[in-house]
Structure 1
Amino acid sequence: MNTNIESTVSEIMQRNVLTVEDDWPLNRLARFFIDHQISGAPVTDSEGNLVGVVSLTDIVRYDSMPESPATEHSTHEFYLHTLERQVTQEEMTNFHMEHESPATVRDIMTPMIFEVNENASIQEAADTMIKGHIHRLFVTREKRVFGIVTALDMLKVLRNNYGASDLARQA
């Protein structure tokens, strides 16, 4: 598929979105990330409404500082200080909760949601991701997750628009 920045988000989004529920215990969340080899996911409530996002960074932050859960006022800082590199499979298998925590996903998730409509342009999605310093953007319909656009999806658009030789010349 030939996409460009004038294309819409619906052309590049991933439609099979893995979500987690806000009442899951942290050990279940960690196992879910490991089993699916992902580093973050949208969080839904019992009715399936999007209520936040949670990542490996949130688990690490909670495990190292359990007295400071996410608050609506500090959510932007959570996005600014996320893991900057991909976690290897070996690191993920070593990633586990040492004890059974009473905390749930709701306690550690970031309640700020960055979302776009499926008809938004790729340019608009890229602007939102850059301004929010985020790696994933949710595509929603009536507060329900319909798709997801990741930084990797954006890189694919760049690759498709500027073949490898074009990108090498610009470097």
Structure 2
Amino acid sequence: MYASDVMSTPAISVEPEMTVREVAKVFVEQKISGAPVVDAAGHIVGMISEGDLIHRTELDTDKPQRRGWLDLFSLGRDANEYVKSHGRKVADLMTTDVISVDEATPLAKVADLMETRRIKRVPVTREGNLVGIVTRANLVQALASMAEEPALDAAPTDREIRAMLMGELAGRSWAFAGRNIVVRDGVVHLWGMFQSADAVNAVRVAAEATPGVKRVEDHTETYPVVVSGL
């Protein structure tokens, strides 16, 4: 799936010259927690979110000014915090380092961007202009909309199930070397010895996700603990 398959469109956006209170009203009325900031040409120039609005002098939630000689090393941060808490326009508060994707970006890359950059929403652009937005909620909604089981033209045989599972496990560091997987009537039987319960769980998950599998039975054992010097 791609960004275009799950994005919300048209994306709700705000303008750099809007006031902080106007943006707060947009968030409340539209039931959103953040939005792209778009200029008159339709280009994204920033992002603003609820996090940019929580430390405000109007609410008496602005951060107190630091005191002491160590504050010499945080003058830039203090100045930025002052702008965030006292600025009246979106342009004063918005984040300008915007991460965006195009419509053909795979969802795997979108999810990776959200995780690595610790962001909750990613604007989607077409030729530089905003066309939609993908949020974490959009990804969850896409997951909820999927069929529980993929449609199969014909039930795979036990041999095909085993081949698919072994292929999925190939090259996985946690897939133990001494494994033995037996498939009978769509039931996967796991045999062998593991050093990690997490590895057993990962193999079980891989088996359950294999098309045609009815259930998984775990017959594995743990490696005996060897205490040296006894």
Name the SS of the counterpart of 2:80 in structure 1: coil
Question: What is the deviation of 1:102?
Answer: 5.7
The number of residue pairs the alignment matches comes to: 132
2:164 is aligned with 1:157: no
Q: Which amino acid aligns with 1:153?
A: N
Question: What is the deviation of 1:161?
Answer: 4.7
Distance 1:61 1:67, change over 3 A: farther
Question: What is the deviation of 1:48?
Answer: 2.1
Larger gyration radius, structure 1 or structure 2:
2
1:15 maps to which of 9, 15, 18: 9
Distance 1:69 1:146, change over 3 A: farther
- How far apart, CA to CA, are the structure 1 residues paired with 2:79 and 2:142? 41
Higher relative contact order (CA 8 A, sep 6+): 1
Distance 1:109 1:70, change over 3 A: farther
Name the SS of the counterpart of 1:20 in structure 2: coil
Q: Where does structure 2 lack aligned partners over 5 or more consecutive residues?
A: 64-77, 149-203, 206-230
- Supply the RMSD in Å over aligned alpha carbons: 2.8
Distance 1:31 1:67, change over 3 A: farther
Q: Where does structure 1 lack aligned partners over 5 or more consecutive residues?
A: 1-6, 72-96, 164-168
Name the SS of the counterpart of 1:113 in structure 2: coil
Partner deviation per Cα, 1:51-107 (whole Å, 9 max, x = no partner): 011011101134424942599xxxxxxxxxxxxxxxxxxxxxxxxx9xxx6620000
TM-score (norm 2): 0.51
2:53 is aligned with 1:59: yes
Question: What is the deviation of 1:160?
Answer: 4.0
Question: What is the deviation of 1:134?
Answer: 0.8
Residue 121 of structure 2 corresponds to 136
TM-score (norm 1): 0.67
